[in-house]
Amino acid sequence: MLRMRRYLVILVFGGLFLGLFIRLFCLQVVDRRRYVDIARKQHNLVLKVEARRGSIFDKYMDPLAMNMEVESVFCDPRIISDKSNMAEILSRELGIDAESVRLKLQRDKAFVWIKRKIDQAEYENLSSKNLRGVYFRPESKRKYPNDAMASHVLGFVGTDNQGLEGIELLYEDQLKGRPGRRYETRDARMRSVLRKEEASIPPHNGNNLVLTIDSVIQYIAEDELSAMVRNFNPAGGTVIVMDPFSGKVLALASSPAYDPNDLSSLLPEHIKNPAVSDVFEPGSVFKVVAAAAALEEGAITLEDKVHCENGQYRTGGRMLNDYRPYGEISFEDVIARSSNIGVVKVAQKLGEKKLFEYIQKFGFGEKTGIDLPGEVQGISRHPRVWSRSDITTIPMGQGIAVTALQLASAVSVIANGGYLMTPYIVEEIITWEGEKVKKNFPQVKRRVISEKTCGKMKQAMRKVITDGTGRSSASKRYETCGKTGTAQMASPAGGYYPDKYYATFIGFAPQEDPKISIVVVARDPRPLYFGGTVAGPAFKRIAERTLEYLGAEEIRSSSR
């Protein structure tokens, strides 16, 4: 009996040793390659090294978009024993859903992201707990130091720093750079113990953009746009300030704006840039096109008299009305007082074909070519599809749809002596070392009208402000020129809204040596809605503040 027990013990231990031997044989010989691969993957890592995204600067190299280093949280689920408890801790500390974290921790992976680009407080709280299986990796986060300033120009990036809107999207290939790779060995606690620099590939950083935007002028435009929104409650608004001679956009502001640092409450309808993507019937600001065309073609002079039918004129199967009745007045006064009847009579004398020719020359019905995404060409129909009444509506800005940027380019034609310029917003592209990759220069599209006609239009647009519909925009410091516009909003269902309007003002200053062109647009302001009342004062203040900043010469007779 004793002998049998001895044999049984020997048999049991022999079986155990044999099983252990077989297991070791399998681990060391049969499955050796598989486990070596697992160990290599765990400890010899190939890490993607993020390229530094290019920064975006204003014209004076003040940063508008830059990068900052923040921490991101990841886990190794394989070494986390109590996954449910860990999910609760991470959820509490990082403000994320516990169930989603728990599902991530159930994965059979050595690396899962928990939360990308956390703030400093979250990092300090979580790192102080020294949680097993929870690690941090530094990443680059896009930072917009001026918050909502120029948001529709800059756009924003996604979690992986890819451009999604604005300049960030359009110049993604220049800004993003190329990532590199780093090879390193880590211990069981995921600590780096050896970096193999000789095998690593360094990242190629993205290029920087220098814009034509002047942050001071941008601030002025946004400040006055905000004041107009407070005073007249429009559903939206746009301000553009441009150098009329070069086409450089010095400021572009739209309301509502958004903060690209915090997209959590961003509404989709606020993302697009209305300055280039929204079209509207311009109303009376479009009369400058018909007037310039008539003067250029010699169809009329500023001194010629036009009978405005005392406020009512039946033509083209419809009744035209003026806001105030006028009899016989000069064509200069037709422009200054914004007579619908006077402008239509002159346009009829000019003819459909010639009117359409100048509409095209001024750039309507085509994209301006600005380096911003989302630009549309507007709506400008050929005369062969015009109805009998179109010659009576298009000259006063109905039956045609334009963008605010097209208006800025068009009024710049009159300011600069007759040339349509291609507007642009990126001055140059440079490397981090300062080497120029690309430099943009002013581009003339075509001559639209003569310098002589521009002089006549400047005279008439000056009178708009001194004696016409734009008196609320008159400045005692600078000789400004402009044109008011008030247009009913077209309804998608057809026809027009009875109580919704676009209030617009276009102009430039000073008269003799224009430094800036300005467009101000208010969409559906309330309770007042006239262009001269709503947009005119904003034009005046933007012009005065900007010209003072630029050091423009004031009217010598002004008293302050």
Encoded tokens for 243: 């150098």
Encoded tokens for 64: 């508008």
Q: Rounded to whole angstroms, how far apart are CA atoms 555 and 477?
A: 5
Q: Which secondary structure element, helix H or strand E, spans residue 19, and what is its range? A: helix 2-25
In the chain, the amino acid numbered 219 is Y
Task: Show the 3-state SS of 149-173.
Answer: CCHHHHCCECCCCCECCHHHHHCHH
Q: Rounded to whole angstroms, how far apart are CA atoms 539 and 475?
A: 10
Active site residues: 284
Partnered with residue 240 across adjacent β-strands are: 252, 519
Q: Is the peptide bond before 510 cis (omega within 30 degrees of 0)?
A: yes
Cα R_g (the chain), whole angstroms: 34
Q: Which secondary structure element, helix H or strand E, spans residue 415, and what is its range? A: helix 404-416
Q: Determine how β-strand 56-57 pairs with β-strand 208-211.
A: parallel
Beta strands in 233-304 (DSSP E): 236-242, 249-255
Q: Rounded to whole angstroms, how far apart are CA atoms 32 and 40?
A: 12
Question: Of 260, 263, 271, 214, which is closest to residue 65 (Cα–Cα)?
Answer: 260
Write the DSSP symbol of residue 560.
-
Q: Are 233 and 268 in contact (CB under 8 A)?
A: no
Which position has the token pair 């014209």?
Answer: 59
Question: Of 377, 384, 382, 421, which is closest to residue 401 (Cα–Cα)?
Answer: 377
Beta strands in 126-229 (DSSP E): 134-143, 180-186, 192-195, 208-211
Question: Of 362, 337, 348, which is closest to residue 294 (Cα–Cα)?
Answer: 348
